[in-house]
Structure 1
Amino acid sequence: MSVDIDQRPIILTGDRTTGPLHLGHYAGSLKNRVALQHSHRQYLLLADCQALTDNASDPAKVRRNVLEVALDYLAVGIDPTETTICVQSGLPALAELTLLYLNFVTVARLERNPTIKDEIQVRGFGRDIPAGFLCYPAAQAADITGFKATVVPVGEDQAPLIEQTNEVVRRLNRQIGRDVLPEAQALIPSVGRLPGIDGRAKMSKSQGNAIPLSATPDEIRDAVRRMYTDPNHLRAADPGTVEGNVVFTYLDAFDEDRTTLEELKARYRRGGLGDVVVKRRLEEILQALLAPIRERRAALEKDPCHVLDLLRAGTMAAREKTQATLDDIRSGLGLFSFEQPENRLAS
C-alpha cells in the first residue's frame, strides 16, 4: 500500500465546463489558485457532471468545454506538476458518494440553501427544477470530501454550500463513530465578484458582458469602451461617483499602483477627470494582463493531445484518491464489501 507523504493542506476547487473562462474567474479564483498551488496540495476539478444539471439538452457543449477550460487553467499558470487537474465524470467514486450523502440530507434542507434558492430564481425553474440541480449541494459535498479537502476557495455567495458540506460531514462522522472526513473551510477572495461590463451583477459570456481570458486586443478595447460608468458624469468637469462605477471596480481588482488609483478616484469625485482617461488606464492594464495568457493559450491549442494526456494522468491520480475515500466511508458505515462479504453479511 502506498503512503502519502505530501502533508500540505488539501484544496479542492474547479469550474463547471459550460464555456471558456473570463476575467471574473481570474479575479475571483484563478489568480489565487496559481499562488496556492505551491503551498497546498491542490486538486482542480473540471465539473462536467455538474454542468449537465442545467445543460442536459446540450451535452456536446459540456464535453467541448472540458478542453476549453483546461486550456484556460494552463494558460494562466496552473502547473500540472503542482496541481492535479481532473475530469469529474472520470471519477466514479464521486457519483457513489453523492448517492450516499443524499440519504443524510433532506429535500427541505436542499431547498433552503440560499445559493440554490438564488440560482433557481435566476434560471426561472419555478417548480420544474431538475433533480440533479436541486441535489447540487450533495454533489459538491461529494467533490470536497472525496478529496478530503480542508480548504475550498469560493465566492461569498457559495459559502452556504460549504456549510452544508460540513453538515453532511458531521452527520457521517457521528454515524460512523469517528472522524473519517475533515470539515472544510471556505476561502473567500478579497476581490468580490466582478460585475459585467454593462453593470449587471454577474459577468456572463451568454449575456455578452464578459471579457474572456482569450480576448484579442480589439475585443478588450471594445469591451472597456462599452463599460458602464456614472450615467450622471456627462462632462469631465462634473463630479463623478466611483461606487458602482464598473471601470473603477475593475481598476480595484487589477491596478497594482494603489497610490495612483486613489488619486484618480479623488480627482473623479471632485470633477476634472473624464471617463476616457480612466478607461484608457484600465485598457492598458488589461492588455498587459491578458496578452501573455492569450499567447500561452494559443500555443497550447496547437497540441490538444498533450493537454488531454495531462487531463488523463490527473484524472487517474484523482480516481485513486477519491476511491480511497469512498472505501473508508463504506467500511465505516458497514456496507457490503466483496473483499470481506462474510463480515458485512454477519453484522
Structure 2
Amino acid sequence: MFADRVLSGMRPTGKLHLGHYHGVIKNWTSLQNEHECLFMVADWHALTTNYDEVGIIEKSIWDMVIDWLAAGVDPEKATIFIQSKVPQHAELHLALSMVTPLGWLERVPTYKDQIDKLSHKDLTTYGFLGYPLLQAADILIYKAGRVPVGEDQVPHIELTREVARRFNHLYGREPNFEELAKAAVKKMGKAGKEFDQLRVRYLQDGDGEALLKARELLGASQNLGAIDGERLLGYLENKGKIILPEAEALLTEASKMPGLDGQKMSKSYGNTITMREEPAAVSKKIRAMPTDPARVRRTDAGDPAKCPVWQLHQVYTDSATREWVQAGCTSAGIGCLECKQPVIEGVLKEQQPMFERAQQYLDNPQLVKDIVADGCARAGKIAQDTMREVREAMGLGY
C-alpha cells in the first residue's frame, strides 16, 4: 500500500535561498524520518516557463541537490532523482492527456494567474497549459499518498485526484474483477471476514467509520501484494481496481521567512539570502536593510512593527533578544546596526552546518551524481511497475 509515500519536488531555476529552506526543505528533513519520501528535481517543469533560458538548468540542478543535502536531506532515507531521467513521467502524462478534459486544465487557478504575472513571456503553449497534468503524472506514477503543498497548490492536488478517479473509472474494471477480489479477501485470512463485514456496513449503511477501518485492515495485511491491495480498495467502495490511487494534500505552513525588504523572500524581488551565501555577504546585506523610516537619526525612537529587520527577529532570535529590541528601539536606546547584529549571528549559525555538509560534495562532485543516479534507478523501478499496469489497463499491454 502506498498511502505513506510522499512525493515533492522543486524546479531548478537558480540558486536556492533561505525562503526555500524555511518553506520547503526544512519540512522535507522532518518528513523523511516519518515516511517513504521521493524528492524530485523538476527539470521538465522548469521548461514550462524558462524554455528560453535553458542554460541555467543544468548548473542549477547540481547546485540545488547540494543545497538539499546541505540542509539535511538524507539520501539513505529519501530518494533524490531528476524528473527527465525517469521517462515514464512523460509517458503517463501522454496517457492521461487522452482522458483529461481541456476545461479541467483551463480552470486551474494558477494558470491565468501565472499568465498575468509573467505577461512578458509567451505562455500560450501546450506545455504551460498542461503542466498541472504533468504534475498529476509526477504524483500518480509513484502512487504517492501524500503531497506536501501550500494552500495555493491544493487545486493541483484536486485535479490529480479527479484525473485518477476518471482513469480508474474508465480502466479499472478487469475481467473477472469480482472473483479476483473475493480471492484476494481470502488471502487476508481471519481479517478477511472482518473486511467483508465492514464493506457491507459501508455499502449498505454509508458507515464512514467502517470504510476507514476496512482501509486500515488492508494497510496492515501482510498477505496481500500491491495489485491485490489496489483491487480490494476498489472492491471496498464497489468500484473497479484502483490502478492510480488518489493522493492527499499534506498542507504545509507558508514560509515565515521574509525578504530583506520585508516582502516575501523571492528571487524576482531581489531580496534574498542564498542558502550558502558567504558570511561577509550575509552581514553586508543585513546591515544594509531598510529600517523604520521614522528613525532618521540615532536618537530618534522607532517602531519595530514598521521595520523589516523585526520580521527577521521573529525567525532568528529568542524572546529575550526580541524584548531587548522592542525596548531599545522604542526608546532609541539602541541603534539599528545594534539591532541587526543578533539577526546576522542567527543566520550565520543556521548556515554553518549547511556549509559543513556541502563541502564534501563540492570537493567531490561525483558523490552528488552517484546519489542522483541511484535515486533515478530507484524511482525508475517504481515508475516502470506503474506504467506496466497503466498500459495493460489501457489495452497497450501487448
State whether TM-score is above 0.5.
yes
Q: Which structure is larger by alpha-carbon Rg, 1 or 2?
A: 2
Q: 1:178 maps to what in 2?
A: 241
Unaligned runs of 5+ in 1: 339-347
Give distance in 1, aligned partners of 2:81 and 2:19: 22
Distance 1:146 1:216, change over 3 A: same
Secondary structure at 1:242 match in 2:
helix
Q: 1:293 maps to what in 2?
A: 354
Distance 1:267 1:326, change over 3 A: farther
- If the length of structure 1 is used for normalisation, what is the TM-score? 0.85
Secondary structure at 2:134 match in 1:
helix
Does the alignment pair 1:194 with 2:189? no
Q: 2:63 maps to what in 1?
A: 68
Distance 1:109 1:241, change over 3 A: farther
Does the alignment pair 1:210 with 2:205? no
Deviation at 1:195, TM superposition (A): 3.7
Task: Report if aligned partners of 1:151, 1:184 keep a CA contact under 8 Å in 2.
Answer: yes
Deviation at 1:238, TM superposition (A): 2.8
Deviation at 1:329, TM superposition (A): 2.4
Paired letter, 1:144: I
Does the alignment pair 1:11 with 2:19? no
Give distance in 2, aligned partners of 1:331 and 1:202: 46
Alignment of 1:222-301 (within 5 A): 222-234=284-296, 237-242=300-305, 245-255=307-317, 257=318, 259-260=319-320, 263=323, 266-267=326-327, 270-272=330-332, 274-301=335-362
Paired letter, 2:314: D
Secondary structure at 2:354 match in 1:
helix
Which is further off, 208-217 or 259-268? 259-268
Give distance in 2, aligned partners of 1:106 and 1:202: 36
Deviation at 1:117, TM superposition (A): 2.4
Which is further off, 297-306 or 44-53? 297-306
CA deviations 1:47-79 (Å, max 9, x no partner) are 111111122223232122211111111111111
Q: 1:306 maps to what in 2?
A: 367
Task: Report if aligned partners of 1:197, 1:203 keep a CA contact under 8 Å in 2.
Answer: no
Segments of 4+ moved more than 6 angstroms: none
- If the length of structure 2 is used for normalisation, what is the TM-score? 0.75
Does the alignment pair 1:98 with 2:159? no
Does the alignment pair 1:129 with 2:124? yes
Deviation at 1:162, TM superposition (A): 1.7
Q: 1:53 maps to what in 2?
A: 48
Task: Report if aligned partners of 2:150, 2:254 keep a CA contact under 8 Å in 1.
Answer: no
Does the alignment pair 1:325 with 2:386? yes
Distance 1:89 1:241, change over 3 A: same
Task: Report if aligned partners of 1:191, 1:253 keep a CA contact under 8 Å in 2.
Answer: no
Which is further off, 313-322 or 169-178? 169-178
Q: 1:139 aligns with which of 130, 134, 143?
A: 134
Task: Report if aligned partners of 2:3, 2:144 keep a CA contact under 8 Å in 1.
Answer: no
Distance 1:127 1:193, change over 3 A: farther
Deviation at 1:233, TM superposition (A): 4.5
Give distance in 1, aligned partners of 2:331 and 2:164: 55
Matched positions, count: 328
Does the alignment pair 1:315 with 2:315? no
Distance 1:316 1:261, change over 3 A: same
Deviation at 1:326, TM superposition (A): 1.9
Distance 1:111 1:251, change over 3 A: farther
Give distance in 2, aligned partners of 1:118 and 1:271: 44
Tell me how large the CA RMSD over aligned residues is: 2.5
Distance 1:226 1:156, change over 3 A: farther
Alignment of 1:75-90 (within 5 A): 75-90=70-85
